[in-house]
Amino acid sequence: MNLICFGNLGYVGTVLNKAFKKKFPHYVGFDIGYFKHCYLKQEKINKQIIGDVRKINELDLTNFDVVIYLAALSNDPLGSTFSKATKQVNFESCLNIAKLAKSSGVKKFIFASSCSIYGKSGDKIISESDKLNPLTDYAKSKINAENKLKELSSPSFTITCLRFATACGFSNRMRVDIVLNNFISLAIYQKKIILNSNGESFRPLIHVNDMVRAIEWACERKRDIGGNFLALNVGCNEWNFKIIDLAKLVSKTLGNVPVNFGNNATLDPRSYSVDFSLFKNLAPSYQPKEKIEDSIKETFKKLSNFHKKSHTRDFSRFSRLEVLNSLLDREKINSNLEWI
């Protein structure tokens, strides 16, 4: 099986690289390279292309069986700060590459979507059949891509949209701008966990290793399991957390680190608990395996070791917005996040 992954030098892609280069000898990566230097340990693959998904005029996909699209401006702060680039990368370029893949004879297209498209669910646990309520540019870009991808699907071009829970866990291209990893990083360099909201919102989580397992399942998925087009929630029901409870769990696991509220802590309108039953039914052999306490301990240990060796004040190199702002300040990229 020949595969190409767009956005393979990010948080998830780096873990995917390690797993897929062993299982799939003909695995190729394509990435713009914003975060290629933000690694703790480099994972090289056989073929790496550095390029912009918005500029693919000479890209040849004729020899590939599967296209994986991870490329994204990957959270709400990025979406609000770089709204034009978010629309271009997360939605328009995804669609353009999917069209190219289909016309090139690619058999499968896998899109990394997000449970953030549910926005606010109240007390209800949301399934794939419930109403969507995307509240941010990031979430809107994901559902816009899903809707257009559905129109492209066919018996010869199956599309799987993996609506991932919020990512967490250790990667060699780490992120500390996602909730669980953020709490752990604060526990290390501030010796306390600080909440920027009142902690009453709900979020589902998924370990990055389990995200990779789900992507592998999508690569192997047959059309009789889910049809030509499948959009499904990816995670597990046991990993739906209220944010304050998650902070307390991190505190308890790490020896009762203090939990404080920030000065401007307010209600976060984004709040959703998600039902992952469909994923459990369709992919019983690819269910999440990681344990939340083990994930906290591993991430704490590895980030602590990095913190001690590097003598850094914080983990700003593992914040996507911080890295992009640094590239902007140094005039390496322009305001639309294109290399200069």
Provide the pLDDT for residue 313.
67
Is the pLDDT score of 149 beyond 90?
A: yes
Q: Please tell me the predicted confidence (pLDDT) of residue 14.
A: 97
**pLDDT value for 294:** 98
For range 111-128, the mean pLDDT: 93
> Whose structure tokens read 């780490």?
174
pLDDT at residue 191 is higher than 70: yes
Confidence of residue 316 (pLDDT cuts 50, 70, 90): confident
Nearest 10 degrees: Cα torsion 173, 178, 181, 187: 130
> Model-level pTM?
0.96
- For the chain, helix (H) and strand (E) counts, in that order, are 11, 14
Write down the pLDDT at residue 264. 82
- Look up the CATH number of domain 3-330: 3.40.50.720
Residue 239 has pLDDT above 80, yes or no: yes
Domain boundaries, the chain: 3-330
Which tens digit of pLDDT belongs to each residue from 48-107? 999 999 999 889 999 999 999 999 998 778 888 999 999 999 999 999 999 999 999 999
Rounded-to-integer distance, Cα 31 and Cα 70, Å: 10
Q: Dump pLDDT digits (tens) for 7-53.
A: 999 999 999 999 999 999 999 999 999 998 888 888 889 999 999 99
